[in-house]
């Protein structure tokens, strides 16, 4: 078994957690992952009351720990953040994944209630300031990740090595991990485990349309693209007709304003991709691990396989070391 700070702090068996995923982090998936550590995505629920129901539904499906993700990002219609996080705490959730800008007040609130906070960030300077705010675990999202990689374009290899040098609290590797090799590499880079998004989208329990899962299986690592680069809100999404149109609008002379792409990137349109199974219907988040994913396992199969693969790799690596001979 792989024992790390993450497995000890969360009381989980495999050092793998599922990050917040808009429209995807729903009770069935969260419960299926929660042998490791699943996260309900708060803002996928239409209201704080709906979040309460999702928490109860997840609890009915698993007796294992799970958390709630609160993502503080610019959205077309700002949600009732306070309503969501208070509802989750009142429902007895003790683990939170926070992400996005200005997390200070949110982290302070969770810590005042004795909750464990995993904060996701894409730079070492943000990780250090979250560390000072008292978070328990940092989730370091490299350039490879689905969703928001930040604007610095630093890949996981360097970012995690920097984390190993600079951070005092446990951190997990996020972005670009989809198999046991990625897990073993993350542990080698000092991480206490991994956070995955894209890989969990493509599991039996993931609530998205079968066509989209098949699309991920058929894709290569060249099938994602960054949108909103010019708006300084870079987002990695699947490469399709809509995302390429957004990129083309951004490249027009004089650039683009958000209003120019608002309809194309609407969250509701993205949500319908998962419902109607048309991968070209809207934008949807996906990381470059789409190039590593070639099956649709259950979450349990996936977690067991990754654990086995990582253990095998770590065993083989240690057999590379032989006693030194004198020069
Ligand atoms: N991260 C958040 O913090 N909030 C979100 O709402 C969110 N939505 C996501 C939706 C999808 C479909 C995916 C694939 C990822 C999303 N993410 C979100 C990012 C994941 O939590 C995670 O950090 C990322 O997927 C890790 O990279 P990977 O996809 O290479 O594993």
130's CB contacts (< 8 A; 6+ apart) are: 103, 107, 119, 121, 138
- Report domain extents, the chain: 5-207+297-307, 224-285
Centre of ligand 1 from the C-alpha of residue 18, in Å: 9
Q: Any idea which residue has 């429209």 for tokens? A: 23
Residues having CB closer than 6 A to ligand 1 are: 19-22, 24, 41, 69, 71, 99, 120, 141, 144-147, 174-177, 195-199, 201, 285-287, 289
Q: Which two tokens stand for residue 167?
A: 């951070």
**pLDDT tens per residue, range 38-90:** 678 888 899 999 999 999 999 999 988 899 999 997 766 789 999 999 999 99
Over the chain (327 residues), what is each successive 10-residue block's mean pLDDT? 93 92 94 78 90 95 92 80 96 95 94 97 97 97 97 97 98 98 98 97 97 98 97 96 98 94 94 97 98 97 96 94 85
Q: Which fold has domain 5-207+297-307?
A: TIM Barrel (3.20.20)
Write down the pLDDT at residue 146: 98
ipTM of the complex model: 0.99
In the three-class reduction of DSSP (H, G, I as helix; E, B as strand; rest coil), residue 18 is classed as: strand
Contact criterion met (CB below 8 Å) for 170 and 137: yes
Q: Where are the beta strands (DSSP E) in 201-240?
A: 224-227, 235-238
């Amino acid at each position: 078994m792989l024992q790390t700070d993450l497995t000890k702090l969360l009381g989980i068996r495999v050092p793998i957690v599922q990050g917040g995923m808009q429209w995807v982090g729903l009770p069935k998936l969260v419960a299926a992952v929660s042998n490791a550590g699943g996260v309900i995505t708060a803002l996928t629920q239409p209201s704080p009351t709906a979040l309460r129901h999702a928490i109860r539904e997840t609890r009915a499906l698993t007796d294992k720990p799970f958390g709630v993700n609160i993502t503080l990002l610019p959205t077309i219609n700002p949600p009732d953040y306070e309503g969501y996080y208070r509802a989750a705490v009142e429902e007895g959730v003790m683990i939170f994944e926070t992400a996005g800008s200005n997390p200070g007040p949110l982290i302070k609130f969770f810590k005042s209630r004795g909750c464990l906070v995993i904060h996701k960030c894409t730079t070492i300077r943000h990780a250090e300031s979250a560390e000072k705010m008292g978070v328990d675990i940092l989730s370091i999202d490299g350039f490879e990740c689905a969703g928001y990689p930040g604007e610095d374009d630093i890949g996981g290899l360097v970012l995690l090595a920097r984390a190993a040098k600079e951070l005092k609290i446990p951190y997990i590797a996020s972005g670009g991990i989809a198999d046991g090799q990625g897990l073993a590499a993350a542990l080698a880079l000092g991480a206490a485990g991994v956070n995955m998004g894209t890989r969990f989208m493509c599991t039996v329990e993931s609530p998205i349309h079968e066509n989209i899962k098949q699309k991920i299986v058929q894709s290569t690592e060249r099938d994602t693209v960054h949108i909103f680069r010019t708006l300084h809100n870079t987002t990695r999404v699947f490469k399709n007709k809509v995302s390429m149109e957004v990129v083309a609008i951004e490249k027009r002379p004089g650039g683009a304003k958000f209003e120019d792409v608002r309809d194309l990137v609407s969250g509701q349109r993205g949500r319908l991709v998962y419902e109607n199974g048309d991968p070209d219907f809207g934008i949807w988040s996906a990381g470059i691990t789409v190039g590593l994913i070639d099956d649709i396992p259950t979450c349990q199969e996936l977690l067991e396989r990754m654990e086995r693969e990582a253990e095998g790799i770590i065993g083989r690596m240690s057999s590379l070391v032989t006693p030194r001979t004198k020069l």
